[in-house]
Amino acid sequence: MTRLSVNINKIATIRNARGGNNPDLVRVALDCERFGAQGITVHPRPDERHIRYQDVLDLHEVVTTEFNIEGNPDERFIELVKRVKPAQVTLVPDAPDAITSNAGWDTIRHADHLRYLIDTFKADGIRVSIFVDADERMVEGAKAVGTDRIELYTEPYATHYAENREAAVAPFVMAAKRANELGLGLNAGHDLSLENLRYFDQQVPDLEEVSIGHALICDALYFGLENTIQMYLRCLNRTGGPAGFNRLKD
């Protein structure tokens, strides 16, 4: 069964807008876990525009589900991850000025660099996942550099879902099959939503984890965080509670 890791970057975006501690990121992370999330994902960026490096240290103290730290492995990121030793690190090739992640690694061109990074994190007992496009050559390259898992970059699927979902998911099914043949674990994320998640999970074999932030936090504005998490869990065939909306507990 596919696990849901909630990306809480957007909670930090709201908090940072006023400079105080509302909403409280740590409390939200704990509530996500209480509401059924099986993991918490954060993506500290060099400008700390949402998740701050201190947030990662604070969250590490309290998160009891899988803690996944995503990011571009610059020196500061590497140092942070090695200090925290999360369950999983996801390496993402973001330019520092990127609005959001917009591509996977070229696992062939950056093979030496990736191999070095993966060895470094694995030596500390951290599971490594690398962000890749749904391209079999990139999946094969990922295997060659020794990663434990890949995370398929799902933005192209999300963008084309409405016009032709069969065509949109096809490259992801191929990439997933190749990953499975090669013994790579499989995660996915970016722009997954209540609209497109269930079909993706049904079609893509042996999907272990999805990390979802932007759409889930937007949905929570309308449905509340508890209901929203349970709605996403139901897309992954987890019941997570009754079919209707649940009243928020305090």
Ligand X SMILES: CC(=O)[C@@H](O)[C@H](O)COP(=O)(O)O
Ligand Y SMILES: NCC(=O)COP(=O)(O)O
Binder of residue 212, out of ligand X, ligand Y, none (CB less than 5 to 8 A by kind): ligand Y
Transcribe 178-210 into DSSP letters.
HHHHHT-EEEEESS--TTTHHHHHHHSTT--EE
- Is 100 annotated as ligand-binding? yes
Beta strands, E only, the chain: 3-7, 39-42, 66-71, 88-91, 127-132, 149-153, 185-189, 209-212
Residue number with CB closer to ligand Y (3 or 190): 190
Distance CA 169, CA 149 (A): 19
Q: Where does this chain touch ligand Y (CB under 6 A) — which range of 28-36, 167-175, 213-221, 241-249?
A: 213-221
Within residues 173-202, the interface with ligand Y by CB under 6 A covers: 189-192
Taken as a whole, the chain contains a residue count of: 250
Residue 214 CB, nearest approach to ligand X (Å) = 6
Among 70, 94, 209, 219, binds ligand Y (CB under 6 A): 70
- Is 112 annotated as ligand-binding? no
- Is 185 annotated as ligand-binding? no
Residue 93 CB, nearest approach to ligand X (Å) = 10
- Annotated catalytic residue 70: yes
211 binds ligand Y (CB under 6 A): yes
Helix (H, G, I), strand (E, B) or coil at 129: strand
- Annotated catalytic residue 155: no
The DSSP call for residue 90 is E
Helix (H, G, I), strand (E, B) or coil at 250: coil
Max alpha carbon distance in the chain (Å)?
51
- Annotated catalytic residue 160: no
Residue 141 CB, nearest approach to ligand Y (Å) = 19
The annotated binding site for 3-amino-2-oxopropyl phosphate is made up of 7, 18, 191, 213-214
Q: Which residues are the active-site residues? A: 43, 70, 190
